[in-house]
Amino acid sequence: MVSKLKLKRIELGLKQKDVAKQVGITPQYLMNLENGKSKNPSIKVMKEISAILDCPVQELFFGTGAATLTETK
């Protein structure tokens, strides 16, 4: 299963390190958000990631579930 956050980033062809740098977080923290290991990002971080990925906060962080990469093809 792939989180909506990771799926959207990959869809846009963005690297974790580049998104993390723009947001001001570590690539490790972004990876943890994508993998569900960090579940309580700040509102500021959620809004910044949302803006970079051009996707609503609700969809990225509070969506109804994850999708697999094969489901999106």
For residue 57, give every residue at least 6 positions away whose Cβ sits within 8 Å of its Cβ, in sequence order, or none. Answer: 46, 47, 50
pLDDT digits (tens, 9 = 90+) for 24-60: 999 999 999 999 898 889 999 999 999 999 999 999 9
Please give the pLDDT value at position 62. Answer: 85
> What CATH architecture does domain 4-72 belong to?
Orthogonal Bundle (1.10)
CA 38 to the chain's CA centroid? 11
Q: What pTM was estimated for this model as a whole?
A: 0.81
Grouping H, G, I as helix, E, B as strand and the rest as coil, residue 67 is strand
Please give the pLDDT value at position 63. Answer: 74
